[in-house]
Amino acid sequence: MPAATPWSIDADFLQACNCEYGCPCEFEAPPSHGKCEGVGVWRINTGHYGGVKLDGLTFGFAARWPGALHLGGGTGGWVIDAAASPEQRDALNRIASGEAGGMPFEIIRMTFAKTLPPAYAPATFSANGPRSSASLGDQIVIALEPIKNPVNGQPERLRVEHETGFMFKSADVVAGRECRVNYGELNYSYPNKAGFVSKVQYHN
């Protein structure tokens, strides 16, 4: 077997889904409403796949699982920044598909029973703490904001530390003001549900 091409990325990461604030899936509990539908978007600050630089590129995934994520049976795929060169597209496809090895992508692909063809779309990404947002064309749109105190309406500051987490080890817990997907057979919109903002480092 040939040696795997080494890769690493240091990125801002945004996540939103259909669960209630805090998302029980992060703690191996069943989704709030039986099924799990959500998105994750990364903006790579520094990264490479072998000799291919990935700095500044954005990519994301959208998925649906019929139950808890760890039970599998999901449908999902990824959307890649249209600004990526052919070499960068190939690199990100290999990373996002789990083919190149490394977390969290190896685990994500194991939970998919059906993988959609990758798509390419113009990307936006605004890293602004709990008010971050991103889009990949109309396929994936995510916008976050602080969770508001139900009594006084003031923003709450919440964090989670998850040492064994595979998507992130620590994150701000926020509200997903917008979580919208129009990608292949995945079409959903979940405003004001669970969201997270994190900085991550991955490699194989």
Q: Is residue 121 a part of any domain in this protein?
A: yes
Closest alpha carbon to 193 in 22, 49, 4, 76? 22
Counted domains in the chain: 1
Which of 39, 42, 41 has the alpha carbon at shortest distance from 64? 39
Q: What does pTM read for this prediction? A: 0.95
Backbone angles phi, psi at 24, to 5 degrees: -60, -25
Query: Is 202 contained in some domain?
Result: no
Q: pLDDT digit string (tens) for 15-56?
A: 999 999 998 888 878 899 999 999 999 999 999 999 999 999
Whether the Cβ atoms of residue 133 and residue 142 lie closer than 8 Å to each other: yes
Q: Is residue 81 part of a domain?
A: yes
Element (H or E) spanning 101, and its range?
none
- Looking at the domain assignment, is residue 3 inside a domain? no
| CA separation, residue 171 to residues 73, 113, 162, 163 (Å) | 27, 28, 8, 11
Return the closest-CA partner of residue 62 out of 202, 185, 194. 185
Q: What is the 3-state secondary structure (H, E, C) of 152-202?
A: CCCECCEEEECCCCCCCCEEEEEEEEEEEEEECCEEEECCCEEEEEEEEEE
Domain region containing 158: 9-191
Q: What is the pLDDT along the chain (204 residues), one digit of tens a residue?
A: 567 899 999 999 999 999 999 988 888 788 999 999 999 999 999 999 999 999 999 999 999 999 988 889 999 999 999 999 999 999 999 999 999 999 999 999 999 999 999 999 999 999 999 999 999 999 999 999 999 998 998 999 999 998 888 889 999 999 999 999 999 999 999 999 999 999 999 999
CB atoms within 10 A of CB 80: 23
203 within domain boundaries: no
In a domain, 1, yes or no: no
Task: Tell which phi-psi region holds residue 72, choosing left (phi > 0), alpha (psi between -120 and 50) or beta.
Answer: left
Domain-located, residue 174: yes
4 in a domain, yes or no? Answer: no
CA distance 120 to 98: 18
CA distance 55 to 32: 36
Q: How many Å apart are CA 128 and CA 36, to the nearest integer? A: 26
